[in-house]
Amino acid sequence: MKRKKIKALIESGTVGSQVKVSGWVRSFRNDRFIAINDGSCIQTMQIVIESEKLTSDVLTQITVGSALTVVGTMVESQGRGQTIEIHAEEIKVVGHADTEAISKTILQPKRHSLETLREQAHLRFRTNTFGAVFRIRHHLAFAIHKYFNDRGFFYLHAPIITGSDAEGAGEMFKVTSLDLKSIPKNDTGEVDFSEDFFGKETHLTVSGQLEAELGALGLGQVYTFGPTFRAENSNTSRHLAEFWMIEPEIAFADLEDDMDLGEEFLKYCVDYILQNCKEDIEFLDNRSVQEDKGKPQAERNELTLTERMELIVNNQFERITYTKAIEVLERSKPYKKKKFKFPVEWGTDLASEHERYLVEKHFKKPVIIYNYPASIKPFTCGIMTIIRQLLLWMFYFQA
């Protein structure tokens, strides 16, 4: 018999048939009810066993974290919390889990901090939170490919290793096959990269934009979707040394076309998740509500996760020029009451407090700001603009 995924069984809801499922034990109570999860969805499947029919050897091995394969009959559940369950006829312990050892890990069923879960990133896929997060991550990636594919864009693989002749790319990872114990030097004592694998200095990519431009100027519409790297020594909740970027590029298009694409694309992706990841979103929504309860009022989210996502899907993004944004800020209450820490002045960059005021207080929906002063772009903060800054270093004029 072929194994069925728990997601498929719950969706079909059919009772009476004999099925085979596999998964990891989340709980086992009263020697009768086992909850297993196979990762296909956030829900567990309740397995009802008659423990007296099992050998004590099998019974003792059914513990939290162990892996089981069960053959049984799907029936309507009498209990609360699930509509269907499986009455087991056959149970096989595929992989047992030492109870003593597991109690030292995050698989021990109790609340663990996200920090602890991060330290055991190899096991965190088995938790509800990270199961939900990584299923959503997958669906988002898929939605992105689907969006572009459906509109005739081609997926362009930009190189991971890039050559750069310019100096000052200090925040890029160097790529070399030189023997670090004996680095070849030239007459002036500098590293002789002509001896290196590529015959020149190379780095890990910080952006696929330049390559995407080249692709678009022949294929018409392309996008990249790949890892990018930054050797910036900042340990914050917003920075990674390795992260993934999506960079579409369209030919025969101006800034307005670009804004149209950005808005439609974001709405599509967020809506796709709302439509296709309902249970996971619901779980994460409850999770952040719980988390918010432990925070001071000012730091709590005014909207739930679902509401924030619906705000994107259901609103036309506000489009204002940088000049207009400055005017709005100059008329704002926090500006008049001198509540802003950073100056509001044409030609200076918008600080995050200004952006937040525009998005969250003034317009109360996503905002696109365009036509920035030449003097401040790309010397601004933010993940995208740091990359632009690096690109500027690479090519000085390019951003």
Minimum Å gap between C-beta 22 and other proteins is: 22
Taking the C-alpha atoms of residue 273 and residue 86, their distance in angstroms, rounded to an integer, is 30
Report the SS3 class of residue 323: helix
Residue 191 is classified by DSSP as B
Dig out the tokens for 48 from the structure. Answer: 């009802």
Minimum Å gap between C-beta 244 and other proteins is: 4
Taking the C-alpha atoms of residue 114 and residue 357, their distance in angstroms, rounded to an integer, is 30
Identify which of residues 53 and 239 has a Cβ nearer to other proteins in the complex.
239
Q: Regarding beta strands 45-48 and 33-37, do their DSSP bridges make them parallel or antiparallel, or are they unpaired?
A: antiparallel
- Check: CB of residue 309 under 8 Å from CB of residue 276: no
What Rg value do the Cα atoms of the chain yield, rounded? 27
Task: State the Cα torsion 214-215-220-224 to the nearest 10°.
Answer: -120
Identify which of residues 1 and 298 has a Cβ nearer to other proteins in the complex.
298
Taking the C-alpha atoms of residue 208 and residue 294, their distance in angstroms, rounded to an integer, is 41
Identify which of residues 192 and 292 has a Cβ nearer to other proteins in the complex.
292
Q: How many residues does the chain have?
A: 399
Minimum Å gap between C-beta 317 and other proteins is: 7
Matching residue, tokens 């996200």: 114
Identify which of residues 2 and 122 has a Cβ nearer to other proteins in the complex.
122
Q: Which residues contact 374 (CB under 8 A, 6 or more apart)?
A: none
Minimum Å gap between C-beta 245 and other proteins is: 6
Minimum Å gap between C-beta 386 and other proteins is: 10
Identify which of residues 110 and 252 has a Cβ nearer to other proteins in the complex.
252
Identify which of residues 85 and 211 has a Cβ nearer to other proteins in the complex.
211
Minimum Å gap between C-beta 182 and other proteins is: 25
Minimum Å gap between C-beta 355 and other proteins is: 5
Residue 227, strand partner residues: 244
Report the SS3 class of residue 87: strand
Identify which of residues 71 and 141 has a Cβ nearer to other proteins in the complex.
141
Identify which of residues 60 and 301 has a Cβ nearer to other proteins in the complex.
301
Taking the C-alpha atoms of residue 348 and residue 225, their distance in angstroms, rounded to an integer, is 32
Among residues 219, 231, 209, 220, which one has the least CA distance to residue 158? 209
Give the dihedral sign, CA 236/237/241/247.
negative
Q: Which residues contact 333 (CB under 8 A, 6 or more apart)?
A: 339
Minimum Å gap between C-beta 246 and other proteins is: 5
HSE-up (13 A, CA, CB side) for residue 282: 8
Identify which of residues 59 and 253 has a Cβ nearer to other proteins in the complex.
253
Minimum Å gap between C-beta 312 and other proteins is: 7
Minimum Å gap between C-beta 180 and other proteins is: 17
Taking the C-alpha atoms of residue 177 and residue 9, their distance in angstroms, rounded to an integer, is 51
Minimum Å gap between C-beta 195 and other proteins is: 21
φ, ψ (nearest 5 deg) of residue 37? -130, 135
Identify which of residues 174 and 365 has a Cβ nearer to other proteins in the complex.
365
Dig out the tokens for 85 from the structure. Answer: 């369950």
Identify which of residues 93 and 245 has a Cβ nearer to other proteins in the complex.
245
The answer, yes or no, to whether the previous bond of 378 is cis (omega within 30 of 0) is yes
